[in-house]
Amino acid sequence: MKSEKYLVDPAIKTLDIESKAIASLKKFIDKDFFAAVKVIHFCKGRIIVTGIGKSAIIAQKITATFNSTGTPAVFMHAADAIHGDLGIIQRDDVVICISKSGNTPEIKVLAPLLKSGGNILIGIVGDVKSYLATQSDFVINTTVEKEACPHNLAPTTSTTAQLAMGDALAVCLLEFKGFTAKILQSFIRVVLLEKNYT
């Protein structure tokens, strides 16, 4: 039987790696980040959040966080988008595309389609020299040194970084909008009533 230490050590190592990666994101709070906050804040349409693979799951969570903090957002899976679902994007919408590499085949197909519609594209990406980064109007850097996965393969640290940066965006927008606790509580009550959860 494997010892408790055998199990505890990788858990602690994972938390150490990911906490250091999140702390290192502070240096990426730059002019593009603040420009993205302003663009989202003044957007006359909705915020469309998209991604592929594990980044798509993070995109769903960021969408949910935006919606619960006063920034109307819609999730669009990148694979669905390039297979006919681009019609969800309207003229005044801003698109946030999330990708670790920024070079996946789906993203390479999707980015030019988004640009052709004239929408502002914000890339949350782990490689600032990637295809997605070069196509984006604003780049939010989520580069990490390594994954917590011992083989440096499974998205772990990279998705944690994406999630944390999404939270940073949402909270900045909340503050920018003056979205107080009272407004937030009222907003949640309305949503619950609409969904018959109360």
- Residues 126-139: tens digit of each pLDDT: 999 999 999 999 99
CATH number, domain containing residue 81? 3.40.50.10490
| pLDDT in the model for residue 93 | 96
Q: Chain-centre distance of CA 65, in angstroms?
A: 10
Number of domains in the chain: 1
Nearest to 59 by CA among 47, 41, 70, 69: 47
Q: Which residues pair with 73 in a beta bridge?
A: 47
The rounded distance, in Å, linking the Cα atoms of 33 and 131 is 19
pLDDT tens digit sequence for 8-39: 889 999 999 999 999 999 999 999 999 999 99
CA angle 62, 112, 124 (to 5 degrees): 30
Whether residue 173 contacts residue 65, with contact meaning beta carbons closer than 8 Å, is answered with no
pTM of the entire predicted model: 0.87
The rounded distance, in Å, linking the Cα atoms of 94 and 156 is 27
- Residue appearing with tokens 């991604």: 51
- Residue appearing with tokens 């709070």: 29
Nearest to 48 by CA among 5, 103, 112, 91: 91
Nearest to 127 by CA among 113, 110, 107: 107
Instruction: Identify the domain containing residue 126 by its residue range.
Output: 4-194
The rounded distance, in Å, linking the Cα atoms of 82 and 177 is 33
pLDDT tens digit sequence for 79-123: 999 988 899 999 999 999 999 999 999 999 999 999 898 999 999
| pLDDT in the model for residue 181 | 56
